[in-house]
C-alpha cells in the first residue's frame, strides 16, 4: 500500500508540475506556448470532417422547416403592424373579425414566443460531437460514432481533470490573492496589486476553459472613469473581459461558490454587489455609479444592463439605471461560437457548479469581443432612449436579435402594462379611423 501511495503522490506531483510549468506560468505572464492553438487546429479539422460525414450520411431530403436555422424559429411570423393588418380585413370601422389578429398573435406566443426561447440553449445547425442538439441528426456511420466515443474519453478523462486543476488554481489564487490585497490600506500600490491579481487569475481561468478570445478594435477599450456595458450570456463574461483589462464590476449577489468569490474580490477592488429586490441596494448602486463617474482615476465599471443571462442569440431590454447618471458609456459586444461549447447559463436550471462542469466538458469556449466607440447621452434624449440606442448598437455589432422585452420575464410574469399598451394602441387606431365616434352616434340614435 505504501508503494501505491507513493506512486500516486509522484504522479500527482508530476501532473501539477507540468500544469504549472506549461499552462499556469505562461498564462500568468500573458504568453502562449502554442498548445492551445494546436488543440484548436485539431478540433476544427475534426468538426469539419464530422460535418462532411453527416452531410454525406443524410440521404433523404429534409423538410424545409428543419433545414432553416433555429434562430428563425419553428413558425413563420408576419411582422405586419396591427393597423395595416386589421385594415386589410375591413375598411375602417370596428368589426368582430378584428379579434382574429389578436387570436393569431396569442397562438403564435403559445407555440413559440419571443422571450422564453431566449432562456434555453440555442439550437445548432449541425452536430458538434457534444450533444445531439441538431434535430436532423441520426445514426450516420460507425466511424463517426467511434470519433464521438473517443471525444467523450478525451473530454472526461483528460480535459476535465486538467481544467478542474486549472480552475482550482485560478479560483484559489483569486480568493487568496484578493483577500491578502484587501488587507492593505487604500493606496496606489493596493490598486496596482489588485489589478495584477485580477488579470493573472482571469488568464488562468480562461485557460481552464480552453478559451480562445478574439478582441477587436482595442483602440476603443473602456477608459478609467467610464462605464462599460455589454450584453450578458454567462458569468464568464466578466472573466472574458477581465482577461484583457481590469474593471470594477456591478452585479447581483449570488450564493454558493459565486458568493465566496464575490465576497473575496470586493475586499481588493470596489466592486458593487447588490440584491435586486432591495430598494436601498438599488439606490446605493446609483450613488456609487455617480461617485465613480466623477472620479476619472478609477477603473471603468462593468455593467450588464440586461440583468440576466440571455442565450447568445439576442439582446433584451437594457435597464435604464446605468444610463441615467451621465458620463461616457463604452459599449462592448460579446458573441460566443456555439460550435465548440454552449456558454449560456440557465440559472433557473443549473447552479453555478453544474454549469461550470458543463463548460469544462465541452470542447472549448470561443468568442469574439468587439470594443465599440464611446457613446454619450444626446441633448433631449432620456435614459430609456439612450439605453435603447446603446442596445441597438451592441446588437448590430454582435449579429444578435434585438428584443424590447425585459429579461426579468425569465422569473416573473408579464406585467399588465404590456397588455394595456396593446389595448391603448388599438383604441387609438379606432379613434383615428372614426370608429368610436360612429359607434357612439349609433348608440344615441337607438
User: C-alpha grid cell for residue 51?
Assistant: 460535418
In this structure, of 168-177, 245-254, 407-416, the range with the lowest mean pLDDT score is 407-416
Rounded to two decimals, the pTM is 0.78
Identify the pLDDT of residue 220.
Answer: 93
Write the CA distances from 32 to 38, 145, 239, integer angstroms.
11, 33, 18
Give the position of cell 487546429.
41
Contact 223, 300 (CB under 8 A): yes
pLDDT 10s digits, 313-337: 889 889 888 888 878 899 999 999 9
318-338 per-residue burial string, b: 16 or more CB within 10 A, e: under 16: bbebbbbbebbbbbbbbbbbb
In this structure, of 92-101, 113-122, 253-262, 428-437, the range with the lowest mean pLDDT score is 428-437
> What secondary structure letter does DSSP report for 274?
E
- The SS3 assignment for 277 reads coil
Q: At residue 201, does pLDDT exceed 50?
A: yes
Identify the pLDDT of residue 372.
Answer: 95
Question: Could you tell me where the DSSP H helices lie in 226-278?
Answer: 236-242, 256-265
Contact 156, 361 (CB under 8 A): yes
CB-CB neighbours of 229 under 10 Å: 26
CA dihedral (70, 354, 153, 34) in degrees, to 10, reads 80
User: C-alpha grid cell for residue 48?
Assistant: 469539419
Identify the pLDDT of residue 441.
Answer: 47
Write the CA distances from 372 to 178, 215, 316, 367, 398, integer angstroms.
30, 11, 18, 16, 11
Backbone angles phi, psi at 220, to 5 degrees: -100, 15
The CA distance from 181 to 191, in Å, is 9
Is residue 83 packed enough to be buried (19+ CB in 10 Å), middle (13-18) or exposed (0-12)?
Answer: middle
Identify the pLDDT of residue 68.
Answer: 41
> What secondary structure letter does DSSP report for 244?
T
Q: What is the DSSP string of 53-77?
A: HHHHH--SPPPHHHHS-GGG-SS--
User: C-alpha grid cell for residue 253?
Assistant: 449577489
Identify the pLDDT of residue 375.
Answer: 92
- The SS3 assignment for 42 reads helix
pLDDT band for 94, please (50, 70, 90 cuts): low
In this structure, of 92-96, 99-103, 118-122, 381-385, the range with the lowest mean pLDDT score is 92-96
Give the position of cell 463604452.
330
In this structure, of 7-11, 27-31, 130-134, 365-369, the range with the lowest mean pLDDT score is 130-134
188-211 per-residue burial string, b: 16 or more CB within 10 A, e: under 16: eebbebbbebbbbbbbbbbbbbbb
Q: At residue 272, does pLDDT exceed 90?
A: no
Write the CA distances from 418 to 388, 414, 423, integer angstroms.
18, 7, 9
Pairing, β 211-216 against β 365-371: parallel
The CA distance from 248 to 271, in Å, is 5
pLDDT band for 90, please (50, 70, 90 cuts): very low
Most confidently modeled of 20-34, 108-122, 382-396, 397-411? 382-396
Amino acid at each position: 500500500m505504501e508503494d501505491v501511495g507513493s506512486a500516486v503522490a509522484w504522479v500527482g506531483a508530476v501532473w501539477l508540475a507540468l500544469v504549472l510549468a506549461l499552462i499556469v506560468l505562461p498564462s500568468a505572464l500573458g504568453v502562449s506556448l502554442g498548445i492551445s492553438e494546436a488543440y484548436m487546429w485539431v478540433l476544427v479539422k475534426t468538426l469539419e470532417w464530422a460535418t462532411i460525414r453527416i452531410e454525406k450520411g443524410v440521404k433523404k431530403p429534409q423538410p424545409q422547416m428543419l433545414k432553416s436555422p433555429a434562430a428563425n424559429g419553428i413558425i413563420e411570423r408576419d411582422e405586419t403592424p396591427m393597423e395595416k393588418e386589421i385594415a386589410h380585413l375591413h375598411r375602417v370601422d370596428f368589426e368582430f373579425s378584428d379579434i382574429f389578429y389578436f387570436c393569431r398573435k396569442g397562438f403564435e406566443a403559445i407555440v413559440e414566443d419571443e422571450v422564453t426561447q431566449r432562456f434555453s440553449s440555442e439550437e445548432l445547425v449541425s452536430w458538434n460531437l457534444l450533444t445531439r442538439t441538431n434535430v436532423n441528426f441520426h445514426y450516420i456511420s460507425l466511424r463517426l460514432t467511434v470519433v464521438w466515443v473517443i471525444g467523450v474519453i478525451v473530454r472526461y478523462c483528460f480535459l476535465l481533470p486538467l481544467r478542474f486543476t486549472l480552475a482550482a488554481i485560478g479560483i484559489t489564487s483569486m480568493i487568496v490573492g484578493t483577500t491578502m490585497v484587501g488587507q492593505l490600506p487604500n493606496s496606489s500600490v493596493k490598486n496596482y496589486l489588485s489589478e495584477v491579481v485580477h488579470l493573472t487569475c482571469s488568464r488562468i481561468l480562461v485557460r481552464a476553459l480552453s478559451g480562445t478570445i478574439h478582441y477587436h478594435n482595442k483602440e476603443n477599450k473602456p477608459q478609467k472613469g467610464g462605464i462599460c456595458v455589454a450584453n450578458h450570456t454567462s458569468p464568464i463574461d466578466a472573466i472574458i473581459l477581465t482577461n484583457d483589462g481590469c474593471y470594477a464590476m456591478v452585479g447581483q449577489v449570488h450564493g454558493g461558490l459565486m458568493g465566496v468569490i464575490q465576497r473575496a474580490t470586493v475586499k481588493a477592488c470596489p466592486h458593487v454587489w447588490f440584491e435586486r429586490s432591495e430598494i436601498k441596494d438599488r439606490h446605493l448602486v446609483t450613488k456609487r455609479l455617480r461617485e465613480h463617474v466623477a472620479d476619472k482615476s478609477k477603473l471603468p465599471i462593468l455593467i450588464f444592463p440586461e440583468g440576466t443571462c440571455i442565450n447568445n442569440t439576442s439582446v433584451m431590454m437594457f435597464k435604464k439605471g446605468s444610463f441615467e447618471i451621465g458620463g461616457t458609456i463604452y459599449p462592448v459586444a460579446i458573441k460566443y461560437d456555439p460550435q465548440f461549447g454552449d456558454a449560456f447559463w440557465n440559472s433557473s436550471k443549473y447552479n453555478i457548479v453544474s454549469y461550470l462542469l458543463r463548460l469544462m466538458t465541452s470542447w472549448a469556449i470561443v468568442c469574439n469581443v468587439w470594443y465599440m466607440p464611446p457613446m454619450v447621452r444626446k441633448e433631449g434624449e432620456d435614459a430609456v432612449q439612450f439605453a435603447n440606442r446603446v442596445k441597438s448598437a451592441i446588437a448590430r455589432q454582435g449579429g444578435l436579435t434585438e428584443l424590447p422585452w425585459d429579461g426579468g420575464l425569465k422569473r416573473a410574469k408579464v406585467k399588465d402594462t404590456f397588455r394595456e399598451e396593446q389595448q391603448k394602441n388599438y383604441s387609438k387606431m379606432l379613434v383615428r379611423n372614426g370608429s368610436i365616434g360612429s359607434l357612439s352616434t349609433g348608440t344615441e340614435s337607438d
